[in-house]
Amino acid sequence: METAAPSAVIVAIDGPSGTGKSSTSKAVAAKLGLRYLDTGAQYRAITWWMITNGIDTDDPHAIAVAAGKPGIVSGTDPAAPTITVDGLDASGPIRTQEVTSKVSAVSAVPEVRTLITELQRSIAASAEGGIVVEGRDIGTTVLPDADLKIFLTASPEARAARRSGELRGKEATDLAATKEALIKRDAADSGRKTSPLAKAGDAVEVDTTELTLDQVIECVVTLVEEKRAART
Ligand code: DC
């Protein structure tokens, strides 16, 4: 007797930075044999292109006019996700402090969001077997029909400590400054007009403040498995 392949499942994982979104999403996708999409990396990639092409990131009109120019391609293997801009590997440059400080302004421009949202939907639609998509507006705007929506939260202190840990060794870090920058970026991402960072009404909220990464992964894997079981 043939065993049926597990049905394709679409999982949306949203939340502010430092909640363990990327690590959780990658691990859940790898464990369950799903594809993985980091939508923050796409907004960072378009921001990096704007900076390297001399576009004023404080000028929404200039950003809107240029938004369709870069060719952004995301590789969705959770073991080795990739991001290229016009064929160039952008995985390193998109993590610099300069990009991090400018990405909220660029990603708030409606024309940028329309283009990137279309790209995200086409990647999700062609992901055989299903996909975990992480971001800020996946459950609310990009994939409102996702099979499972998770919204990760954590206290600002825990989030700043995790971000500092990630940055250590790469750039000079200071916990208070990291916390301040993170709160500022979240406020910009939550306060923008077009598809702000928000919890979907039907999302499951998981507060990760007191949880280890393994506990968060286990919690999300269980939720996905329950969804899959309920559909068979
Ligand atoms: O997840 P991240 O920190 O790499 O995301 C970088 C920025 O991209 C974040 O500050 C807001 C923006 N972003 C967004 O507006 N919508 C998404 N779905 C994902 C990220």
- CATH at residue 112: 3.40.50.300
113 occurs within a structural domain? yes
Distance CA 67, CA 106 (A): 9
What is the model's pLDDT at position 5?
46
Q: Which domain holds residue 37?
A: 9-231
Residues 194, 199, 201: CA angle, nearest 5 degrees: 110
4 occurs within a structural domain? no
Distance CA 104, CA 187 (A): 10
178 occurs within a structural domain? yes
158 occurs within a structural domain? yes
Q: What residue owns the CA closest to ligand 1's atom 18?
A: 135
**Percent of the chain at pLDDT above 90?**
78
Structurally, the chain folds into a number of domains equal to 1
Indicate the range of 42-56, 109-123, 131-145, 174-188 predicted with least confidence: 174-188
1 occurs within a structural domain? no
pTM: 0.93
Indicate whether residue 162 lines ligand 1 (CB < 6 A): no
> Which spans in 67-208 are helix H?
97-107, 110-125, 156-167, 175-191
Q: What are phi and psi of 211, to 5 degrees?
A: -105, 150
2 occurs within a structural domain? no
147 occurs within a structural domain? yes
Indicate whether residue 95 lines ligand 1 (CB < 6 A): no
Above 50 in pLDDT, residue 1? no
C-alpha dihedral, 133 to 18 to 198 to 124, nearest 10°: -10
222 occurs within a structural domain? yes
